[in-house]
A and B are shown apart, each in its own frame.
Chain A
Amino acid sequence: DAGVTQSPTHLIKTRGQQVTLRCSPKSGHDTVSWYQQALGQGPQFIFQYYEEEERQRGNFPDRFSGHQFPNYSSELNVNALLLGDSALYLCASSLETGTHSYEQYFGPGTRLTVT
């Protein structure tokens, strides 16, 4: 049973560039959430996708956008990269049960470095 997978594992970009990160959810899961984790901090919620739509969004600028595909995989896009965007980007998947009783499983993350 494959867990949550993310690609790439590491990425180095220059300020002003654009980046796309990818996530495949755990088998059987239909909901994908993206988090940004700065060094020494807890994950910060970026947004969540369900049924190919952005369901909720955290306090992140419009430079951060996403997409969910019919197979439930997801992409996170960041435009006009800033030095402050350097972080570990985590994808978490879960199964929508119609209740709040859900477990989120995290992928290994993508380490983004902006120079």
Chain B
Amino acid sequence: AQKITQTQPGMFVQEKEAVTLDCTYDTSDQSYGLFWYKQPSSGEMIFLIYQGSYDEQNATEGRYSLNFQKARKSANLVISASQLGDSAMYFCAMRDRSGGGADGLTFGKGTHLIIQP
């Protein structure tokens, strides 16, 4: 079973609208970390936001916020007031210990977001 599921392969959004990118995860650990990254066409992965499993408040970083619903194992990224420069691939990732000890990040398949003027 996939550990990170991003159900939206692609999204088209009008400039200045808010965007919600979905992410659900699967882990048996109580302690884990959730991350969102942006990957423009240039290829570099840009860190956006982090949410810890024990954090009671939803994380926010500028125009980015994370809608964390622990019981539903959901960690959706919300981008407010989208801009043309937000067009990119967006990846949800998790670090936990249930993968047999590997500490690397587990990534979802990504969502290709296109902002239209």
- Check if A and B associate: no
Which B residues form the contact surface with A (CB < 8 A)?
none
Using a CB–CB cutoff of 8 Å, the interface residues on chain A facing chain B are: none
